[in-house]
Each structure stands twice: as structure tokens, then as C-alpha cells.
């Protein structure tokens, strides 16, 4: 996402990285059949079905958004709380970039 010219210091946000990693882990459990449903994941994790559904969307973030999050170069207002409270994450990567302040 960045070309190295951004003078802002990079500060990876552990909470933000954590929810993206969790989303990928849960999606992987569903895909490989380790978990049979969202409800099964929710019960195992001690969270609500709704929370699992919201986080699962994050497994489909644009790769450059994920890279920026891992580097700590995401927009300053992009937080774990903001991502988990989004009513709908667009499927299109360009729309995700606009919504989340990358463009």
C-alpha cells in the first residue's frame, strides 16, 4: 500500500492484527471442515454467532489492506473496534480501500 515515502512511523496495532488473524483462522476451520458452522465456532470461542459472522468478513480483506495492517501503515483511524462494528464490508477490494481510508 505504501511506496516507502510515507514519513509516518509504523506502529502495528496488535488488536487489529489479532482480529484479522482470528478471521482467517475461523475461515480456515470452516473451509477444511474442522468446524461445521458459525455456531460451532462461536460456542467453542465463547462469543456470539453475530461476532463470528462480522469477523469472518475480515478474512476477505484486500491483500494490500492486510499487508498495511501487518506493517502498521494503516490509516490512523482504522482500529479493531471500527472493523468489528462495520455493518457491511464490501466484497470489492477497491470499495474496501475507499471505505477504510486507503484511497
Q: What is the pTM of this model?
A: 0.86
Interatomic CA distance for residues 29 and 86, integer angstroms: 23
Q: Does residue 46 sit within a domain?
A: yes
Q: Say yes or no to pLDDT of 5 above 70.
A: no
- Indicate the number of domains in the chain: 1
Nearest in space to 20 (alpha carbons), one of 64, 71, 57: 57
Confirm whether 89 is domain-assigned: yes
| Domain hosting residue 52, numbered range | 14-99
Query: Phi, psi at residue 96, to the nearest 5°?
Result: -60, -45
Which of residues 40 and 87 earns the better pLDDT score? 40
User: Is the model's pLDDT at 95 over the cut of 60?
Assistant: yes
Q: Residues 8-65: pLDDT tens digits?
A: 557 899 999 999 999 999 999 999 999 999 999 999 999 999 999 999 999 999 999 9
Judged against a pLDDT cut of 50, whether residue 1 lies above it is answered with no
* Residue closest to 72 by CA, chosen among 31, 15, 33, 26: 15
Amino acid at each position: 500500500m505504501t511506496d516507502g515515502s510515507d514519513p509516518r512511523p509504523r506502529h502495528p496495532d496488535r488488536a487489529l492484527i489479532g482480529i484479522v488473524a482470528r478471521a482467517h483462522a475461523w475461515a480456515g476451520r470452516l473451509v477444511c471442515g474442522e468446524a461445521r458452522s458459525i455456531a460451532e465456532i462461536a460456542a467453542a470461542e465463547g462469543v456470539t454467532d453475530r461476532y463470528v459472522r462480522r469477523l469472518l468478513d475480515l478474512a476477505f480483506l484486500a491483500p494490500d489492506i492486510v499487508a498495511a495492517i501487518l506493517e502498521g501503515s494503516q490509516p490512523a483511524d482504522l482500529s479493531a473496534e471500527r472493523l468489528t462494528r462495520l455493518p457491511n464490508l464490501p466484497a470489492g477490494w477497491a470499495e474496501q480501500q475507499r471505505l477504510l481510508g486507503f484511497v
